[in-house]
Each structure stands twice: as structure tokens, then as C-alpha cells.
């Protein structure tokens, strides 16, 4: 394969030509396929090109919606961007199931976000702490005022800073621990800018202070960066109803037996890390889909959620279930640092539509919507697992993908759909059925 110098400076067409000539078997079909995903509107495509680097085209993902989603006595139509079969269907089925049972409820626990200035300093710890609390901290807060004033006008800003000693873990290692409120913004750029200024101010103050001598004047800022672990930016969502109201012909079992099996499935996800991983992946099927649709950072949300799931020393389920005094309750408690202004939420046309669809929610309302969507997805998955099994519904949704892969005609599709209406779908079975059809033609 050929290497290239200055690839980022090539035009988009030159980049494509290089890839086709050197990595895609010089196929003009590949070139045309890449260009066929360009937006018809040149200005819209320019916006997409600017989202990332070395962009050559767009990669499409399905955009679906879940209507009739009752949350806190308000009906939402929830947008979801996901390619996995049955996720939107399962979420919609859960929304319908709970609509007549009080719907979903949610509340915000807190919205605090954090960041750290990581630095190395060699000297007497008590001396540094005394200097920080009595001299440096007030000056730092004054120094960052120009950066935080606009956020403060919106009700947010830098809440507090404190010095933390980690020299027992790494020689000379300290942190300035900072807490923030960023209101409806995710606030990553804001937080990082403030942290870098905190680091500069502290470094300069230590160097200029007469309190320190020799190597004590050398404060090395290793990095200043927000943390995506935000356990105090948290939301809780739940569903609850009397056990007897869970009676449903679709369960093919009594409400009591369903609840017993459902509770046990949740307990297993708290006991066994192997099951917990898949269990929580299902939760993020629902969460990530709404995160993507609204232009938020699903990678940060997942990293934080998985860390939170392991906060007690073992990776566990993010959802919980109990039956008390005849009442069934199923809930999720999860950190979600989201934004509804700035960043991709203001640039991506479909993110704007998603937020319009949701009624232009603030960050707190979006946190509740996202958490409830994850809970709905998890309820739908567990409901299937403890009743009919996951494959029956999943593979019926996957049938369309199999038919597309096998290039079935419209006539063949209808025949195959009827054939598998009452049997388990498998790739091998669909392929065999199509082979028989085609041999008869």
C-alpha cells in the first residue's frame, strides 16, 4: 500500500482518487458509491465536512422515532439514531405498555460537572495547602472571572476549587479539583479553558511567591482537562404499578410469575459481570440512540455510565427492581452530562430537528428523556428474555436485513415473510427458502 504526504491538504476528490487508486482496487464503482452519499445541498455538505478531518463522504444511519412516550405526565415523540434491529421497536413497545400504567417518571439528582488540573510539585505538602487556601485560591478565582462571567449570567459557572494530594500514588502528584455548573451546555470547551487558566495562575503564583525557594518554585502542570466521570450529574427514571396491573396476554404467564422472573433477571445482572455487560449494553442501545439524535457525545456518556456501574468495586447492572407491598418498581440511576445548546446541537440539522421534536428541552429535561429511554429499552429486552426469548422478535426485525443481503426481489420478500411468520428466523433458513423459490422459477 502507498503512503501519502500532505493528505489533509488534498481536495475531497483528490482524497477519494488516492483511496480508489491505492486501497480500493481502482474501482470507479467505489468512487461513485462514496460520492453518492454526498448531500445534494453543497452548503449542508460543507457543514458536515467541517465536523471532522479528512472527510470524504457521509455515513448514513437510520433515524427513527418512538411516539406516545409518556414521561412525567407529558407525551413525547422520542428520536433515535441506531442501526440495530428491534431497538426502536422494543422501546416503542415498552412505551405503549407503560402508557396505561402511569408512564415513566424521572427526576434530576444533581448537575455538577468536574475537571482537574493535574500537576507535579516537590516540597512540603502542608506548605502548599496553606499557600493554596490562603493566597492562591482567591487569586485564581479572580483570574478566571473573565472566562466564567457569561456562564454565571446563565446561572452556572465555576462552583469551587480545592487542592487534592495524590502523592501516595505518584511522587509529587497533586490535583486542583474543580466543580462546574454549565446549565444547558455540555460545557467541555468552557471547562477546559477555565482549567487551563487555573493551572497557569497557580504555576505563576508558586514561581513568584517568596514563600517557596529552589525547586519548590517549579510546579509542572501535566494536563488540565475535564473528567467524563460525573457521578454528581445524575438522573433517576422509573416505572411502577401494582403487580396485578402487569397482567398482559402478551406475557403468556401470570403477572406474579412474570415479576418473579423479571426480578431474578435483574439480580443476575447485579451478580454476574458477564451478564451485567450485556444487560447494560442494552440500556445504552436506548440511551445512545437518543444521544446521537440530539447531537450529544455518546462516547462520553458510555464511558461515564460504565465507570458508574463499577463504582462499588464490581461491574453491575445500572437498573434495579423491587416489589414492595404489592407494588412493582423498576428504575435506573445514571450519570448523564448532556447539553442542548452549542456544539453539534447547534450545527447538525437533524440534531436541531430532534430537539424541536422534543419541544426544545433544557439539559435537565433531556437528561430525564434519555434516562427513561434507556430504562424503556432495558424493560423491553428483559421482558422478551424472560418470556418468549430475545431471538423471536429480534430475528423477525433482522429478516429484512437478511433479505437485503441476499438481494431478494419484492415478490420473494413477500413469500419469505409469510414462510417465517410463525417460525424462528435464521440466515440459513432464509437462504434455503430463497434457493427453493429460485429453483422453481
Residues designated catalytic: 84, 281, 297, 394
How many helices and strands in the chain, by DSSP H and E? 17, 10
Residue 304 corresponds to which cell in the numbers above? 461515564
Burial class (CB in 10 A: 0-12, 13-18, 19+), 249: exposed
Rounded Cα distance, 69 and 433, in Å: 38
> Max Cα separation, the chain?
94
Helix axes 410-419, 427-440, angle to 10 degrees: 120
Q: Report yes or no: 201 and 143 within 8 Å, Cβ to Cβ.
A: yes
DSSP H or E segment with residue 165? strand 157-165
Pairing of strands 220-226, 105-111: unpaired
Give the contacts of 74 (CB within 8 A, at least 6 positions apart).
none
Point out which residues pair with 118 in neighbouring strands: 175, 223
Q: Report yes or no: 196 and 224 within 8 Å, Cβ to Cβ.
A: yes
Residue-level length of the chain: 441
> Coil, strand, or helix at residue 421?
coil
- The DSSP call for residue 37 is T
Amino acid at each position: 500500500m502507498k503512503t501519502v504526504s500532505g493528505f489533509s491538504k488534498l481536495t475531497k476528490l483528490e482524497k477519494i482518487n488516492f483511496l480508489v487508486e491505492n486501497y480500493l482496487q481502482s474501482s470507479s464503482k467505489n468512487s461513485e458509491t462514496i460520492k453518492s452519499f454526498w448531500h445534494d445541498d453543497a452548503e449542508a455538505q460543507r457543514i458536515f465536512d467541517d465536523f471532522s478531518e479528512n472527510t470524504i463522504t457521509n455515513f448514513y444511519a437510520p433515524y427513527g422515532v418512538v411516539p406516545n412516550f409518556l414521561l412525567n405526565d407529558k407525551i413525547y415523540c422520542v428520536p433515535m439514531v441506531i442501526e440495530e434491529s428491534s431497538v426502536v421497536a422494543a422501546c416503542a413497545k415498552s412505551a405503549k405498555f407503560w402508557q396505561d400504567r402511569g408512564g415513566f417518571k424521572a427526576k434530576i439528582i444533581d448537575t455538577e460537572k468536574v475537571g482537574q488540573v493535574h500537576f507535579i510539585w516537590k516540597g512540603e505538602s502542608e506548605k502548599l495547602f496553606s499557600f493554596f487556601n490562603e493566597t492562591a485560591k482567591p487569586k485564581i478565582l479572580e483570574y478566571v472571572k473573565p472566562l466564567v462571567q457569561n456562564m454565571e449570567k446563565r446561572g452556572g459557572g465555576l462552583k469551587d476549587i480545592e487542592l487534592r494530594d495524590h502523592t501516595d500514588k505518584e511522587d509529587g502528584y497533586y490535583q486542583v479539583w474543580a466543580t462546574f455548573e454549565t446549565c444547558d451546555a455540555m460545557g467541555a470547551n468552557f471547562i477546559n479553558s477555565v482549567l487551563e487558566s487555573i493551572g497557569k495562575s497557580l504555576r505563576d503564583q508558586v514561581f513568584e511567591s517568596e514563600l517557596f525557594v529552589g525547586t519548590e518554585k517549579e510546579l509542572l502542570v501535566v494536563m488540565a482537562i475535564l473528567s467524563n466521570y460525573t457521578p454528581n450529574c445524575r438522573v433517576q427514571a422509573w416505572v411502577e404499578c401494582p403487580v396485578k396491573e402487569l397482567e398482559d396476554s402478551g406475557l403468556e404467564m401470570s403477572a406474579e410469575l412474570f415479576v418473579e422472573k423479571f426480578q431474578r433477571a435483574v439480580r443476575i445482572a447485579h451478580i454476574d459481570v458477564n451478564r451485567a455487560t450485556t444487560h447494560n449494553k442494552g440500556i445504552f442501545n436506548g440511551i445512545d440512540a437518543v444521544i446521537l439524535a440530539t447531537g450529544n457525545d455518546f462516547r462520553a456518556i458510555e464511558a461515564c455510565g460504565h465507570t458508574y456501574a463499577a463504582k462499588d468495586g464490581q461491574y453491575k447492572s445500572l437498573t434495579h427492581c423491587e416489589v414492595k407491598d404489592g407494588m412493582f418498581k423498576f428504575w435506573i440511576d445514571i450519570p448523564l452530562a448532556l447539553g442542548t445548546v452549542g456544539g453539534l446541537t447547534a450545527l447538525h440539522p437533524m440534531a436541531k430537528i430532534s430537539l424541536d421534536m422534543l419541544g426544545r428541552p433544557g439539559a435537565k429535561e433531556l437528561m430525564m428523556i434519555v434516562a427513561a429511554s434507556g430504562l424503556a429499552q432495558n424493560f423491553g429486552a428483559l421482558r422478551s428474555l424472560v418470556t418468549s426469548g430475545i431471538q423471536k422478535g429480534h430475528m423477525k426485525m433482522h429478516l429484512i436485513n437478511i433479505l437485503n443481503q441476499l438481494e431478494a426481489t419484492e415478490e420473494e420478500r413477500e413469500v419469505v415473510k409469510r414462510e417465517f411468520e410463525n417460525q424462528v428466523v435464521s440466515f440459513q433458513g432464509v437462504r434455503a427458502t430463497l434457493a427453493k423459490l429460485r429453483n422453481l422459477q
